[in-house]
């Protein structure tokens, strides 16, 4: 089952797509979310959200934010 990745800012939705994996710049260190990942909430620091879609790697640069991982959904609220 793919992961639904949603990245939003105060201005709207930047990313809303199904992905195979997503790597995030956590404030305690970078981490990767795969299918069926354990639930978590984490703060994010400056860096890139990197995600795989159909074998292609894409990224979104951020300054800070928060992420929630639950039931194969990754929801990030970020500042650019």
Task: With beta carbons less than 8 A apart as the criterion, state whether 14 and 48 touch.
Answer: no
* Model pLDDT, residue 78: 98
Q: Which residues contact 65 (CB under 8 A, 6 or more apart)?
A: 43, 44, 76, 77, 78, 79
* Model pLDDT, residue 18: 97
Q: Which residues contact 12 (CB under 8 A, 6 or more apart)?
A: none
What pLDDT tens digit does each residue of the chain (80 aa) get?
799 999 999 999 999 999 999 999 999 999 999 999 999 999 999 999 999 999 899 999 999 999 999 999 999 999 99
Domains annotated on the chain, with CATH: 3-79 (2.60.15.10)
* Model pLDDT, residue 11: 95
- The pTM assigned to this predicted structure is 0.94
Find, among 66, 73, 76, 75, the residue nearest to 3 by Cα. Answer: 73
């Amino acid at each position: 089952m793919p992961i639904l990745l949603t990245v939003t800012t105060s201005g709207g939705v930047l990313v809303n797509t199904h992905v195979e994996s997503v790597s995030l710049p956590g404030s305690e260190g970078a981490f990767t979310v795969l299918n069926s990942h354990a639930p978590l909430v984490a703060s994010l620091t400056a860096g890139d959200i990197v995600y795989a879609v159909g074998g292609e790697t894409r990224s979104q640069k951020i300054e800070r934010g928060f992420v929630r991982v639950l039931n194969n959904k990754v929801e990030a609220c970020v500042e650019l």
